[in-house]
Amino acid sequence: MQHKLLALVLALGVALPAPALAAMVDKPIVWNARRKALTEQYARTHYGRAFTTITPRAVVVHWTADDKMASAWNWFNREASPRGMAQVASHFIVDRDGTIYRLTPETRLNPHAIGYNWCAIGIENVGGKGGREDLTQAQLKADAWLIRHLHKQFPTIRIVFGHYQQDQARSTGLYKELVPGYHSVKHDPGPKFMQGLKELLQGEGVTVLEP
């Protein structure tokens, strides 16, 4: 059957689609009334109005600081934080073999980067345990593929940066935060990975901040 189809495609002179560079798997985390209410509360507190849907303008790249996909997914899958607030989550997790897991719609407000959650899609990469810059080539290629894919879907995305560049990224004008002193120091995903992404995304119409 496969061969017959291939022969037909070739006979018709139709170009075969390029092989997929990355596998994307839907693996949704919980979204229920409590999580929605906590997300609205987060938006009210930090941005001044209740909302749960964003227009993506940036992509923030992270690492999970652990070596297991499941532990990150399970953590993001909690409907509330241990203190009963909005739980952290990113839109995507990229496993060490480059498999991309999609956890929420791209337009969901997910808390993953203070100051940018109102407009930023988060990509987590499994790794970085103990602060080691150990993300894989497969993850680098998958992240670049995913960001290209997202930029096609949302041309409003102009900026890509690593979480550790959160202060540098204020120069983009995208930083918004109403709570004074709400900030934490970040090192993920390290300059080596961001340098690789900057090279792979040259000429793609998005600005990757200088690592």
With CA atoms as reference, report the closest residue to 39 among 92, 94, 66, 76.
76
Asked if the peptide bond before residue 189 counts as cis, ω within 30 degrees of 0, the response is yes
Q: Is 12 helix (H, G, I), strand (E, B) or coil?
A: helix
Size of the site for Zn ion (CB under 5 A): 3
Stretch that binds Zn ion, among 97-105, 143-151, 158-166, 192-200 (CB under 5 A): 158-166
Stretch that binds Zn ion, among 135-143, 154-162, 172-180, 182-190 (CB under 5 A): 182-190
Q: Does 143 bind Zn ion (CB under 5 A)?
A: no
Q: Does 46 bind Zn ion (CB under 5 A)?
A: no
Q: Does 91 bind Zn ion (CB under 5 A)?
A: no
Q: Does 62 bind Zn ion (CB under 5 A)?
A: yes
For the chain, the straight-line distance linking the first and the last C-alpha, in angstroms and rounded, comes to 49
Q: Does 163 bind Zn ion (CB under 5 A)?
A: yes
| Residues linked to residue 53 through DSSP beta bridges, in sequence order | 108
- State the number of CA atoms in the 13 A half-sphere of 131 facing the CB: 4
Q: Which is nearer to Zn ion, 145 or 164 (CB)?
A: 164
Q: Which is nearer to Zn ion, 120 or 142 (CB)?
A: 120
Q: In 10 A of CB 146, how many CB atoms? A: 23
Residues that bind Zn ion (CB under 5 A): 62, 163, 188
